[in-house]
Structure 1
Amino acid sequence: MSIILKDLGPGDIDWLVAEHSRLYARDEGFDASFGRLVRQILEAFARDHDPARERAFIAWDGTERLGSIFCVAQDAQTAKLRLFFLVPEARGRGLGKRMLSECMGFARACGYRRMVLWTHESHAAACALYRHAGWRMTRSEPRHSFGVDVVEQAWETAL
């Protein structure tokens, strides 16, 4: 696999918003509010992140973007995993596992003691990756978000 992980760069925000919006609308029925949330998260990261303790990992195969995962500070001891995403063509090849491992390793190296994330029950493959990497679900509750009924989940792991 010749895939490399780069930091957030030119064009990445627009690509991530477009791909999240397109695929979550197609696969989950999410409305436009989801894309707006993704843009807010990305723009805040680009503007305010601390490069010593927060990082974006954008997966590239040559000139093609394949996905992302972000490590951001929730507090001094806790990192938050955000925007873990792979295009469908990149799934099932071990890239998600690699990206999760890189992100967790970065958080550990920064001195975070634990890591948390928020997701939806429908993301079964990602949840299986989390479980396999030692994460545990701490909360699961039905909600109406992004125009559809979902089951939100919170996960965490010790680093």
Structure 2
Amino acid sequence: MKIEDISIRTTIRPGDLGYIMHRHGKLYGEEYSYGVAFETYVGSGLHEFYSNYDPEKDRVWIGEHNGQIVGFVLLMHRENDAAQLRYFYLEPAYRGMAGGKNSCSFTLIF
């Protein structure tokens, strides 16, 4: 597997947000012993994002390999022309492809 094999899409499809909530809960539970409260926190934030979604101000980047989501990050607009990057997620098998053991590189172009 090479980093060139990963595609990035910027559209949300049915099931994406639920999957990201699930994977955050599962992965952070395994790696950091976070509980269900963290998973519901992610779910409420994803709901907030989608409820206030403005295609001129908000964006998702969904990394896929062979049709499977392997990475995710979103940009959420805030007041006063501010924005917040949230829910950075990368499957463990895909970490380190761009350099060090736990590194990953995203190039965001606006």
The answer to whether TM tops 0.5 is yes
Aligned equivalents of 2:41 and 2:13: distance in 1? 19
In 2: Cα distance, 1:36 partner to 1:63 partner: 26
Specify whether residues 48 and 77 from structure 1 end up closer, same or farther in structure 2 by C-alpha distance, changes over 3 A only: closer
Identity of aligned residues (%): 25
Whose relative contact order is higher, 1 or 2, with alpha carbons under 8 Å and at least 6 apart?
A: 2
Unaligned runs of 5+ in 2: none
Flag the 1:63–1:43 CA change in 2: closer, same or farther, 3 A: same
One-letter identity of the residue aligned with 2:21 = V
Higher Rg: 1
**Cα-Cα RMSD:** 1.5
* Structure 2 partner of 1:67: 71
Query: How much does 1:24 deviate?
Result: 0.6
Residue by residue over 1:102-122, the C-alpha shift from the partner in whole angstroms, topping out at 9 and shown as x without a partner, is: 1xx32xxxxxxxxxxxxxxxx
Q: What count of residue pairs does the alignment treat as equivalent?
A: 102
Structure with greater strand percent: 1
**Distance change (3 Å), C-alpha of 1:96 and 1:10:** farther
**Corresponding residue of 1:16:** 20
Query: Aligned AA for 1:78?
Result: A
Q: Does structure 1 residue 3 correspond to structure 2 residue 11? A: no
